[in-house]
Amino acid sequence: MTDPNAIENNPFKELGKIPENKYHDGYTLDSTYITVRDGVKIAATICLPKGLSPDEKIPTLLTQT
């Protein structure tokens, strides 16, 4: 039997509320070393969207291997 509220309870209806991605120009890659408290240098690759202003804050994804 089909739930009569299935359309109303559809989680995908929220997709229309997601803001449009304003970074369509690609990204830049930068490689650097980060010195931690004990003096060890950790290699880091930083990937940022092109067109990002220096004072703009964006969500961050950290991947460690």
- The model's confidence at residue 25, banded by pLDDT at 50, 70 and 90, is confident
**Angle (nearest 5°) at CA 64 between 26 and 24:** 10
Q: How many domains does the chain have?
A: 1
Does 60 reside within a domain? Answer: no
Residue 24 lies in a domain: yes
Q: What's the half-sphere exposure (Cβ side, CA atoms, 13 Å) at 33?
A: 6
23, pLDDT greater than 70: no
**Residue 41: domain span:** 19-49
Backbone angles phi, psi at 13, to 5 degrees: -65, -20
**Euclidean distance between CA atoms 64 and 8, whole angstroms:** 41
- pTM (2 d.p.): 0.51
Q: Please indicate, yes or no, if residue 5 is contained in any of the structural domains.
A: no
Residue 17 has pLDDT above 90, yes or no: no
Residue 26 belongs to some domain of the structure: yes
